[in-house]
């Protein structure tokens, strides 16, 4: 009976679009000490919620005391590859693959709920359950690995031996004993170190240990303040997240396109022109990225990222747009615009910086302007 229900859950999950499904018992996390140490080392940066999650991550029963099983699910978001001539063109920005389409939280939560409804009907019993996708206090990759979905690679992502790592993970905690995965995950990183070598900011300190404070994904999505000046050049034209340590992973050469239409790229999300994005107002941003993961940066963070990419592009054609940005109401935008003008250099950029220096009152922005002028004159 148990195995029949487990099998039905697998089948229904696949029908709902979850390519990978596995079930593990609700036991204590085996890696919680590594997580604690990671927090103690400061690798979470300013993601304070990860500290608050520590006690909750010790065991799924802290989230739902009746939990007996963790159903781990993965949904593929690989779609197309962007045209290389545009992704490598510094006048265009790159958005990471997971954010090209609709917000996966909404898409997946809805499917998890459908799966729970199905299990409740099929099991014909009163069940307790909770669903999580990304934002919950659960070590998703550990439970996915235990459930047999793949192994945790040196780039810290969960990799499936057949189809790679372009997956969103999610879980259902359920008060039901089911048939558990007993197979160890197939595949491994072996002696490969491609992701560690390819990371532009050396954020993967050692296999499986990532310092978020250096990771471009953190810097362009999670960080709400100024991006540290020394890291800006390494960001290149990445304006939202980073996929480099997955792009170089040999296991991703086997990726197959997702069957979920919601994860296919929205118009303009593949490799947008940086100068077009500079013209986006606060309300344009809200409209354009409604229901998209990109809204997480908010308008201010997104504009900051675009300005960094423009500084890395270094083209004088961007000076008029930066002249507007250096008088923006937001000090963070003014500071980054000053940096970008410094990278571009030349007479017009210098003039814009000198003009703003006369009017600027925020100490951090004054420092950015002075540093930019210094950079130009050297
Ligand atoms: C915080 C967070 C981030 C942070 C920190 C990332 C990190 N590597 O920890 C930042 C903002 C940098 C980030 C970036 C990205 N993220 Co993120 N992130 C999370 C989140 C919310 C928590 C992760 C966490 O707790 N990190 C702390 C570390 C210590 O935990 P951990 O990496 O899970 O590590 C555990 C194991 O690896 C194990 N472990 C540690 N050392 C070792 C050593 C060995 C040998 C082994 C076997 C295991 C092991 O112990 C750790 C603690 O349990 C999860 C969702 C979730 N609730 O889990 C999504 C999640 C990990 N992110 C995801 C994605 C897609 C991304 C990005 C690709 C987005 C992008 N394109 O920009 C990048 C990838 C960057 C990278 N190389 O990891 C997916 C990953 C899917 C997958 N296939 O693995 C998740 C699961 C969200 C989801 N539901 O799909 N993310
Ligand atoms: S996402 Fe980018 S910056 Fe972060 S670890 Fe991977 S390659 Fe490095
Ligand atoms: S690039 Fe190599 S080392 Fe890195 S995750 Fe992929 S297989 Fe593992």
- pLDDT 10s digits, 203-217: 999 999 999 999 999
Predicted confidence (pLDDT) at residue 183 exceeds the cutoff of 90 = no
For 94-135, what is each residue's pLDDT tens digit? 999 999 999 999 999 999 999 999 999 999 888 999 999 999
Torsion of CA 203, 205, 206, 212, to 10 degrees: -50
> Which residue range(s) make up the domain with 289?
273-372
Last residue within a domain, chosen from 132, 153, 174: 174
| pLDDT at residue 1 greater than cutoff 50 | no
Flag whether pLDDT at 3 surpasses 80.
Answer: no
Q: What is the pLDDT of residues 219-275, one digit of tens each?
A: 999 999 999 999 999 999 999 999 999 999 999 998 999 999 999 999 889 999 999
Any ligand 1 atom below 6 A from CB of 252:
no
pLDDT tier at 4 (50, 70, 90 boundaries)?
confident
Residue 312 lies in a domain: yes
Q: Is the CB of 171 under 6 A from ligand 1?
A: no
Of 134, 225, 329, 371, the catalytic one is: 134
CB 278 within 8 A of CB 321: yes
Distance CA 226, CA 326 (A): 14
**The CATH number of the domain where 286 resides is what?**
1.25.10.10
- The string of pLDDT tens digits covering residues 58-92 is 999 999 999 999 999 999 999 988 888 888 999 99
- Token look-up 């050469």 returns 253
Residue 323 in domain? yes
Q: Is 193 in the pocket of ligand 3 (CB under 6 A)?
A: yes
153, 291: one domain: no
pLDDT above 70 as % of the chain: 99
16 — pLDDT class (breaks 50, 70, 90): very high
Active site annotation includes 89: no
- In a domain, residue 68? The reply is yes
Please tell me the distance between residue 203's alpha carbon and the centre of ligand 3 in angstroms. Answer: 14
pLDDT averaged over the chain? Answer: 96
Asked whether residue 91 is domain-assigned, the answer is no
**165 within ligand 3 shell (Cβ under 6 A):** no
Does residue 253 form part of some domain?
A: no
Q: Are 332 and 300 in contact (CB under 8 A)?
A: yes
Is the CA virtual torsion 233, 237, 238, 239 positive or negative?
positive
Supply the DSSP symbol for 292. S
Pocket test for ligand 3, best of 195, 197, 243, 253 (most atoms within 8 A of CB): 195
pLDDT at 276 over 50: yes
Question: Is 119 among the domain residues?
Answer: yes
Mean pLDDT, residues 290-305: 97
- pLDDT of 2 > 80? The answer is no
Residues 150 and 23 in one domain: yes
Q: What is the pTM for the complete model shown?
A: 0.97
- Using the atom order of ligand 3, give the atom closest to the CA of residue 198: 1
The stretch 294-319 carries a mean pLDDT of 98
Residue that finishes a domain, picked among 118, 149, 174 = 174
DSSP code at position 228? P
| 216 CA distance to ligand 1 middle (Å) | 13
Q: 279 and 168, same structural domain?
A: no
Report yes or no on 7 lying in a domain.
yes
Whole-number Å distance between alpha carbons of 246 and 198: 10
Report how far residue 34's alpha carbon sits from residue 39's, in angstroms, rounded to the nearest whole number: 9
* DSSP 8-state assignment for residue 164: B
Q: Has residue 298 been placed in a domain? A: yes
Q: How many domains does the chain have?
A: 2
Of the residues 149, 174, 199, the one at which a domain ends: 174
Q: Quick one: which of 27, 20, 258 has its CA closest to 159?
A: 20
Our answer on whether the CB atom of 152 is closer than 6 Å to any ligand 1 atom is yes
């Amino acid at each position: 009976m148990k195995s029949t229900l487990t099998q039905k859950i697998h089948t229904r999950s696949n029908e709902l679009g979850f390519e990978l499904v596995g079930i593990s018992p609700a036991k204590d996390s085996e890696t919680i000490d590594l997580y604690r140490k990671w927090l103690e080392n400061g690798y979470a940066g300013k993601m304070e919620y990860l500290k608050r999650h520590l006690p909750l991550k010790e065991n799924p029963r802290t989230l739902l005391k009746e939990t007996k099983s963790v159903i781990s699910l993965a949904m593929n978001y690989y779609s197309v590859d962007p045209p290389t001539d545009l992704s490598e063109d510094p006048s265009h920005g790159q958005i990471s693959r997971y954010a090209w389409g609709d917000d996966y939280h909404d898409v997946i939560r809805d499917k998890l709920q459908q799966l729970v409804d199905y299990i409740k009907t099929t099991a014909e019993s009163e069940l307790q359950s909770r669903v999580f996708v990304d934002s919950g206090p659960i070590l998703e990759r550990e439970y996915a690995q235990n459930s047999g979905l793949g192994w945790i690679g040196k780039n810290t992502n969960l990799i499936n031996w057949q189809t790679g790592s372009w997956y969103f993970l999610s879980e259902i905690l359920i008060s039901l004993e089911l048939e558990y995965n007993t197979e160890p995950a197939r595949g491994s990183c072996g002696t490969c170190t491609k992701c560690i070598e390819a990371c532009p900011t050396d954020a993967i300190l050692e296999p499986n240990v990532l310092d978020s404070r250096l990771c471009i994904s953190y810097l362009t999505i999670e960080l709400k303040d100024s991006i540290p000046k020394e890291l800006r050049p390494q960001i290149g034209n990445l304006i939202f997240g980073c996929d480099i340590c997955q792009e170089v992973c040999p296991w991703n050469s086997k990726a197959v396109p997702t069957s979920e239409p919601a994860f296919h790229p929205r118009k303009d999300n593949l490799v947008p022109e940086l100068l077009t994005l500079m013209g986006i107002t606060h309300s344009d941003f809200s409209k354009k990225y409604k229901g998209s993961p990109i809204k997480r940066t908010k308008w201010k963070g997104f504009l900051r990222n675009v300005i960094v990419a423009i500084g890395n592009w270094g083209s004088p054609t961007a000076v008029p747009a930066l002249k507007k940005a250096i008088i923006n109401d937001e000090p963070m935008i003014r500071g980054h615009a000053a940096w970008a003008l410094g990278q571009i250099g030349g007479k017009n950029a210098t003039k814009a910086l000198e003009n703003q220096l006369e009017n600027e009152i925020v100490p951090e922005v004054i420092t950015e302007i002075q540093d930019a002028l210094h950079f130009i004159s050297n």
